């Protein structure tokens, strides 16, 4: 029987499961623009209201992945691995764990995205390094990973075109908050990117897509199941985004912090989460048997300087100025730098992480639209975390702005987003759960 979109919409409207053939017909129609936007929107709403089975979600992911280019990483020796974050603020783990993991013998073939909205993008951070090229041909990408074990590039425009079509409509039809649609969107690009070992960093809290812990765990399990059913080695860590992960927010500032971590000058939450994610990448890559063994390998790569050397090597290979690894002042510098002070005495009780990300975007570190130009030098450095004591007049943060007006704006936004209470508050837990296809460990 010939498939048609009306009957597929009708079926899902009534809460029935769609076949793999029906889902593939829908995904291909979205990618090739042979199905009208209003019909796609109708099916998206039916999916949002009635959900999808595990099998449907896997089939939708595979159909979207296969709607465009499927990257073949088989020429790379070993098990190519990747890490994906659902998006955060001050989250510079890729720049730390990618060179560390590669230095431990697991190839890291990573395709990253740009920042949009309140979350930062790895590509924007890397492009704050003078000359760094994020656009490599697939042949050059694979060749670089074979030579030095690591490359981080932009996603191909031909990657999962069905997802691009659906994503654009989800945003304007109030269907963004559908677990199967979120999971299939993320995983279609990961599967198309070709990595065989995939570690997911699923955020939870005030700066996350899913703000409740249970919703974040549900998303993590859905994505892990999709990847497992597609034959990939999968695990997800649910990590906290109730405050920025690192202290530095803004592209060049975050690169500086990553370099400081790899030099051994900075420890704390950013390093802790990077090591945890990196450990599971070593497990997926088959070079370690336990998380404890894997973390010991990563710490050795850190203390020996092999991780920093690998970052330097990657920057050179991709045309960047690797001198930044030894002199961070070569990164873009803001013209206007000053302190944001606390207006009261007490403990840092909570932070509106989305507002903090939006503050960085407002002063030029991020984009409202994909075509917006970024100022790589701007952002801010937080001096306090949740649970810390602060006195009135003490510095909460240091702003890096292009002018005094932006400095005034970011000062007001940060004071409103960082909540001080007279009552003592406990620091946030960094990692809440480790999620596998049929097993969840709550920490």
Pairing of strands 439-442, 233-240: unpaired
Phi, then psi, of 440 in degrees rounded to 5: -125, 125
Catalytic-role residue among 48, 118, 125, 189? 189
CA distance 357 to 397: 14
CB atoms within 10 A of CB 391: 10
CA dihedral for 66, 72, 74, 79, sign (positive or negative): negative
CB 318 within 8 A of CB 127: no
Catalytic-role residue among 48, 84, 256, 384? 84
Any idea of the CA torsion for 87, 89, 95, 101, to the nearest 10 degrees? -60
CA distance 256 to 129: 10
Please state, in angstroms and as integers, the Cα–Cα distance from residue 225 to each residue in 10, 232, 272, following that order.
27, 10, 26
CA distance 326 to 99: 16
- DSSP 3-state of 281: helix
Catalytic-role residue among 128, 185, 206, 247? 185
Active site residue 12: no
Catalytic-role residue among 82, 124, 163, 375? 163
Active site residue 189: yes
CA distance 111 to 65: 14
Catalytic-role residue among 83, 170, 225, 312? 170
Please state, in angstroms and as integers, the Cα–Cα distance from residue 91 to each residue in 55, 220, 293, following that order.
32, 18, 25
CA distance 172 to 53: 24
Active site residue 33: no
Q: If we measure between CA atoms, which residue out of 251, 312, 295 comes closest to residue 92?
A: 251
CB 154 within 8 A of CB 126: no
Active site residue 375: no
Active site residue 185: yes
CA distance 233 to 403: 48
For the annotated catalytic residues, the residue numbers are 84, 163, 170, 185, 189
């Amino acid at each position: 029987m010939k498939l048609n979109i009306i009957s597929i919409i009708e079926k899902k409207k009534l809460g029935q499961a769609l076949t793999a053939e029906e889902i593939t017909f829908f995904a291909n129609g979205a990618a090739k623009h042979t199905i009208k936007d209003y019909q796609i929107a109708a099916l998206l709403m039916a999916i949002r209201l009635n959900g999808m089975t595990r099998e449907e979600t896997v089939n939708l992911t595979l159909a979207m992945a296969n709607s465009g280019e499927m990257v073949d990483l088989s020429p790379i020796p070993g098990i190519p691995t990747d890490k994906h974050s659902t998006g955060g603020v001050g989250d510079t783990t890729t720049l730390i764990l990618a060179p560390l993991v590669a230095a431990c013998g697991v190839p890291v073939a990573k395709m990253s995205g740009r920042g949009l909205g309140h979350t930062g993008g790895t590509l924007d951070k890397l492009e704050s390094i003078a000359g760094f090229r994020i656009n490599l041909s697939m042949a050059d990408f694979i060749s670089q990973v074979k030579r030095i074990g690591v490359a981080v590039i932009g996603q191909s425009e031909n990657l999962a075109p069905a997802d691009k079509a659906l994503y654009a409509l989800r945003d304007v039809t109030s269907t963004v908050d559908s677990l199967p649609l979120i999971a299939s969107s993320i995983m279609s690009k990961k599967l198309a990117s070709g990595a065989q070992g995939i570690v997911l960093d699923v955020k939870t809290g005030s700066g996350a897509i899913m703000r409740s812990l249970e919703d974040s765990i549900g998303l993590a399990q859905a994505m892990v199941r999709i990847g497992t059913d597609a034959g990939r080695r999968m695990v997800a860590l649910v990590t906290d985004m109730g405050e920025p992960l690192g202290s530095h927010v803004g592209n060049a500032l975050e690169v500086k912090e990553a370099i400081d971590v790899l030099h051994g000058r900075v420890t704390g939450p950013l390093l802790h989460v990077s090591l945890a994610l990196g450990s599971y990448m070593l497990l997926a890559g088959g070079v370690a048997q336990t998380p404890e063994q894997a973390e010991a390998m990563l710490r050795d790569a850190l203390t020996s300087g092999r991780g920093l050397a690998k970052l330097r090597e990657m920057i050179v290979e991709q045309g960047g100025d690797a001198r930044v690894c030894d002199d961070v002042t070569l990164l873009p510098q803001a013209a206007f730098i000053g302190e944001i002070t606390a207006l009261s005495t007490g403990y840092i009780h909570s932070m509106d992480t989305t507002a903090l990300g939006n503050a960085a975007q407002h002063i030029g570190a991020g984009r409202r639209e994909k075509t917006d130009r970024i100022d790589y030098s701007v952002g801010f450095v937080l001096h306090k975390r949740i649970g810390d004591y602060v006195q009135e007049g003490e510095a909460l943060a240091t702003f890096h702005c292009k002018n005094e007006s932006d400095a005034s704006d970011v000062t007001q936004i940060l004071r409103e987003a960082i909540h001080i209470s007279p009552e003592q508050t406990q620091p946030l837990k960094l990692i809440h759960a480790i999620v596998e296809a049929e097993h969840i460990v709550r920490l």
